[in-house]
Homo-oligomer: A and B are copies of this chain.
Amino acid sequence: MAARLPRKNDQASIAARRETLGLNGDVDLSAYVRSAESVTGVATLPVSVAELHVSLGDYVLSDEGEVVETGRAEEDVVVPLAHTEGGLTASLQRGAKAAALSGGFRTYVVADRITRASCFVCRDAGDALTLARWIGERVDEMREFLRAADLPELSRYAVLREAKTHVVGPMCHVLWRWTTGDAVGPNMMTRNAYGLNMAFVLPNAPVPIERVMLEANMGGDKKPSFEFFQSGHGKTVIAEATLTDKTIARVLRTTAADLDALSWAGTHGAVASGMQSVAFTPASAIAAIFAATGQDLGMVGTSSMAHGTGRRVDGGLHASIRFPGLEVGTVGGGTTLPTAHEWLSLMGCAGPGRVYRFAQLVAAAALALEISASAAMATAGSENFFRAHFERGGLR
Contact = CB atoms under 8 A, between A and B. Distances in A.
A161 interface: no
Contacts of A80: 40-41, 43
A264 B336 contact: no
B85 A36 contact: yes
A1 to B, nearest CB: 5
Interface centre among A266, A275, A381 (most CB of B within 10 A): A275
Given A227-B230, A268-B309, A339-B42, A5 B170 contact: no
A372 interface: no
A190 to B, nearest CB: 5
Of A4, A44, A184, the most chain B CB neighbours within 10 A belong to: A44
Interface stretch (A244-252, A282-290, A349-357): A282-290
Interface residues of A, number: 170
A186 B222 CA distance: 24
> By DSSP majority rule, is chain A's interface helix, strand, loop, or mixed?
mixed
A208 interface: no
Interface string A186-213: 1100110010011000100000000111
Contacts of A291: 43, 45, 291, 297
A163 interface: no
A267 to B, nearest CB: 6
B227 A89 contact: no
Given A125-B238, A275-B223, A385 B281 contact: no
A86 B42 CA distance: 16
A333 B216 contact: no
A343 B166 CA distance: 33
A334 B380 CA distance: 30
Given A38-B48, A224-B275, 14 more contacts: A21-B78, A43-B82, A85-B333, A117-B273, A124-B318, A168-B238, A168-B272, A169-B307, A197-B382, A230-B273, A281-B298, A284-B298, A301-B304, A334-B395
A227 B51 CA distance: 36
A113 interface: no
A313 B170 CA distance: 11
B334 A273 contact: no
Contacts of A396: 183-184, 186-187, 332-333
A2 B76 contact: yes
State the oligomeric state as a number of copies: 4
Contacts of A334: 45, 83-84, 395
A97 interface: yes
Contacts of A262: 213, 216
A41 B100 CA distance: 25
A42 B44 contact: yes
A270 interface: yes
Given A43-B339, A170-B311, A322-B169, A202 B108 contact: no
A179 interface: no
Nearest to A129: B108
Contacts of A294: 43, 84
A291 B295 CA distance: 12
A286 B298 contact: yes
A58 interface: no
Interface string A119-157: 101011110010000000000000000000000010000
A191 B224 contact: no
A17 B89 CA distance: 15
B385 A190 contact: yes
A214 B169 CA distance: 25
A274 B36 contact: no
A273 B227 contact: yes
B281 A386 contact: no
A38 B47 CA distance: 8
Interface in A340-378: 340, 342-343, 346, 377-378
